[in-house]
Structure 1
């Protein structure tokens, strides 16, 4: 038993006493030497990973837990594609895990951690010191996530569409200017531009394909090609908002005339204060932000 693992569990998420987590840890222990670190915030995470040594980090949790762990590894200076991260899905959404094809059952996911293959992944870093492992979205999506938090513990994944429905009745859009690789994107068919003259319902920058437990916000996004999929929606009217939300469930929103999809390495927005959601981490009243894609900045163990 030569492998050594540092298993990171988010104590704040309330999963440390979960039977499935205990089963996953037990299964890991049959194939490796396991140390469990139950942490409640970024400071505790950074303390835990600072002593990583030759152990492999393993995250038990959803996108938010993976986001926090990667941020801690990055700040501790130990995030590198040669140090693959194991992920055992245990969150509400698990969108990154779904994109990577990781088994949703925690015990089944143990096999990928013990015997899987490292897959290099892109990382999105912003100019405020944050990072994104799956998707960041600005506008109605962030409002929807904030609303969903009120119901998440009781309803699970059902909280996401409920939050979206509540946010969709109140959001009217924001006059955001967007630049992708230094240029304002223009809709090829309709001719409208994201130059601040059109209210934007949502701006999303994605390397993963889905958000909110499976909604295909960026259905053609790739996690490892060095580019982000950028989705801009100007569906701000009441009818348009409802139609956009309905189409998002199947990924058909990308074909709407009020949705622009492009790709790039650097994305910037500016405008009136708007809420932002990075992998479930919500930030309020952001007036501008720039994101840059770092290709193959880390790696995750996936089924061989």
Structure 2
């Protein structure tokens, strides 16, 4: 029987991560599993708790949204520890890519009985050469700005916060000259954003990289080049289904390492958290994480 340590974001998605965990915890304990709960007060605290639990041989549950999943999963990347996801945030995009259920009974069955699956992670190196691992994607440009607006919204939650954040970001956006180096080959593009995707989904269920797979050892690098803003709004809607990739303004590159530089300061984010400015380098770490799925 597995032993679990739940690392909880107590305010995930504008509600309580603890409330999401409660019915699941009852099912796990009724099945005979040991469960301890730790509440995080910061992402760094969550990383520390996750590493300590993993070193004790416990299965670590990330209870929250993509920020918590990326934080805890990144902390366990490259170790023998096992990650379980309890989706309790706004987007839950990495859980969506894994096909995880949200109903407590079905999710409890996955956590109790599902075999660990090896998936890739992304190592992100900042301009200051700090390195951290994340799960889903790294994005630089208008989407990072939109995500920042969504995260700081006090009036809107869920999909509404992403739509409002996207509208605000696009209206104020000025095109950027990107220098994108993929496995040593330089591409110079002018446009809206560059996404290095391990998972196909980001930004509350948007299928930004339909061909991305979490276990193929590659990053799908999605480049959305300059276009009239009215067309960009159309493409935002097409992101729901992945139809945007047929547009001539959308280019998909693939590789194991991507470096993104720009001609002016541009924010970038990863797994729902935005707190850095380009340049950055993203590298795939093949099969670096064990996750229950």
What's the TM-score once normalised by structure 2's chain length?
0.90
SS in 2 for 1:200: strand
Return the alpha-carbon distance in structure 2 between the equivalents of residues 208 and 225 of structure 1: 10
Q: What are the within-5 Å matches in structure 2 for residues 187-198 of structure 1?
A: 194-195=187-188, 198=189
Return the alpha-carbon distance in structure 2 between the equivalents of residues 300 and 152 of structure 1: 33
Aligned counterpart, 2:140: 138
Aligned counterpart, 1:274: 266
Q: What are the within-5 Å matches in structure 2 for residues 173-252 of structure 1?
A: 173-184=175-186, 194-195=187-188, 198-252=189-243
Deviating beyond 6 angstroms after TM superposition, the runs of 4 or more aligned structure 1 residues are none
Aligned counterpart, 1:112: 110
Return the alpha-carbon distance in structure 2 between the equivalents of residues 152 and 253 of structure 1: 30
Quickly say closer, same or farther: Cα 1:5–1:145, change in 2 above 3 A: same
Quickly say closer, same or farther: Cα 1:41–1:106, change in 2 above 3 A: farther
Alignment partner of 1:30 is 2:22: no
Aligned counterpart, 1:90: 88
Return the alpha-carbon distance in structure 2 between the equivalents of residues 152 and 142 of structure 1: 18
What's the TM-score once normalised by structure 1's chain length?
0.87
As a proportion of its length, which structure holds more strand? 2
Quickly say closer, same or farther: Cα 1:107–1:165, change in 2 above 3 A: farther
Return the alpha-carbon distance in structure 1 between the equivalents of residues 96 and 51 of structure 2: 29
SS in 1 for 2:202: coil
Asked whether the equivalents of residues 58 and 82 of structure 2 are also in contact (C-alpha less than 8 Å), the reply is no
Return the alpha-carbon distance in structure 1 between the equivalents of residues 104 and 204 of structure 2: 16
Return the alpha-carbon distance in structure 1 between the equivalents of residues 95 and 256 of structure 2: 23
Return the alpha-carbon distance in structure 2 between the equivalents of residues 153 and 27 of structure 1: 34
Q: CA deviation at 1:98?
A: 0.8
Q: CA deviation at 1:47?
A: 3.8
Quickly say closer, same or farther: Cα 1:159–1:294, change in 2 above 3 A: same
Unaligned runs of 5+ in 2: none
Return the alpha-carbon distance in structure 1 between the equivalents of residues 86 and 234 of structure 2: 35
Aligned counterpart, 1:4: 3
Asked whether the equivalents of residues 172 and 236 of structure 1 are also in contact (C-alpha less than 8 Å), the reply is no
Note the alpha carbon deviations across 1:95-122, whole angstroms, 9 max, x for none.
1111111002244311111000211110
SS in 2 for 1:199: strand
Q: CA deviation at 1:16?
A: 4.4
Aligned counterpart, 1:54: 57
Return the alpha-carbon distance in structure 2 between the equivalents of residues 27 and 33 of structure 1: 11
Alignment partner of 1:68 is 2:60: no
SS in 1 for 2:172: coil
